[in-house]
Amino acid sequence: MPEGPEIRRAADRVHRQLAGRRLDDAWFAFPDLAGQAASLIGREVTAVDSWGKALLTRFDDGRVLYSHNQLYGVWKLHEADREPDTGRSLRVRLVAQGRAASLYSASDVSLWDTSSLDEHPFLSRLGPDLLTHGITIEQGVARLIEPRFCRRGLGGLLLDQALFAGIGNYLRSEILFFAGLHYSARPGNMEEGTLAHLATCILSVTRQAYDQAGVTNRSDWIAVDRARGASRRRWRFAVFERDGLPCPACGTTIRRVTVTSRRLYFCPSCQPS
- Least Cα distance to 91 among 129, 120, 65 occurs for 65
Kindly state whether residue 195 falls inside one of the protein's structural domains.
Answer: yes
Mean pLDDT calculated for residue range 12-35: 97
Asked if residue 168 belongs to a domain, the reply is yes
63 and 120 belong to one structural domain: yes
105-144 confidence digits (pLDDT tens): 998 999 999 999 989 999 999 999 999 999 999 999 999 9
Is the pLDDT assigned to residue 71 strictly greater than 90? no
CATH classification of the domain holding 60:
3.20.190.10
> What is the per-residue pLDDT across 171-197, written as a single tens digit (0 to 9) for each?
999 999 999 999 999 999 999 999 999
The reply to whether 130 falls in a domain is no
Residue 144 and residue 228: Cα distance in Å, rounded? 39
Q: Pick the more confident residue, 273 or 172.
A: 172
Which among 125, 155, 180 is the end of a domain?
Answer: 125
Regarding whether 170 and 74 lie in a shared domain, the answer is no
Domain boundary among 91, 125, 159: 125
Report helix, strand or coil for 103.
strand
Please state the domain count of the chain.
2
Q: Are residues 51 and 99 in the same domain?
A: yes
pLDDT band at 151 (very low <50, low <70, confident <90, very high): very high
* DSSP for residue 152: S
Q: Give CA–CA dist 5/63, Å, rounded.
A: 24
Give the active site residues: 2-3, 53, 262
Predicted TM-score of the model (pTM)? 0.94
Q: Does residue 272 belong to any structural domain of this protein?
A: no
Domain of 180 in residue numbering reads as 138-266
State whether residue 244 is helix, strand or coil. Answer: coil
Residues 160 and 261 in one domain: yes
